[in-house]
Structure formats: structure tokens, C-alpha cells
Amino acid sequence: MKIIFTAKGENWNSPMDARFGRMEMLVIYDEENDTLEMVSNEGIEEMEHGAGLQTAKKVMELKPDVIITGNGAGQKALDLLKRTTVKMYIGAGDMTLEEAYSAYKNSQLKTQF
């Protein structure tokens, strides 16, 4: 499974970013190879409109199986993501990546879709 976290730092102890569209960075965890990789979302803060769409597109190109985030995505980003088979889990905005992953594994996170 390929899992994307919306994050504010690039390791397991880093805090999650509760926002989807304007997340600071994406952290990708490849469960099979046990690797953690960071993709920057730089420039998104300056974007006045359509941030959610651009982030959603970036996420889609990475072809994850699962997204773990905090507040969830806005309507436009959601409609775009729903074209794929990705599953989105929300409510991990106040956790670290490690806590978020374990909450996901223990089925403690809600799905947005």
C-alpha cells in the first residue's frame, strides 16, 4: 500500500498538517519497501485560488492507495480525487505521522470517501 500523509515535516515524529489543499508537504509511506519520502507543496500558500485542485492533481499523479489527513478536502478537490480508487481518511490533524499511521491501522480514523 502507498499512503500519503498531509504533513508539516518529513519524518514519523513530525506533526500532521490538518489542511489538504494548502498542506505544507506530502509524505509518502510505501508499506512494502518501508520507505518514507517527502514531496514539497511549496508555493501553495501564495496561490489565491484553486489550491485544493492543484494539490489534488499532485496527489493523483503519485497514485496513492490511501490519503491520511485532518480536516478533509474541499468539494472541488474531492470531486477530482473521487475519479480514482484512493481512500481518504480524516481526523488525524492533531497527531504526529506515527500516531496517524497507527490510528489508521487500528481503524480509528473516519473516511471522507
Q: Where do contacts with another protein occur on this chain (CB under 8 A)?
A: 47, 49-51, 53-54, 56-57, 60, 76, 80, 83
Minimum CB distance to another protein smaller for 39 or for 80: 80
Minimum CB distance to another protein smaller for 52 or for 72: 52
Contact yes or no for 31/66 (Cβ under 8 A): no
Q: Shortest gap between Cβ of 104 and another protein (angstroms)?
A: 27
Q: Shortest gap between Cβ of 64 and another protein (angstroms)?
A: 16
Can you list the positions of beta strands (E) in the chain? 2-7, 25-30, 35-40, 66-68, 87-90, 110-111
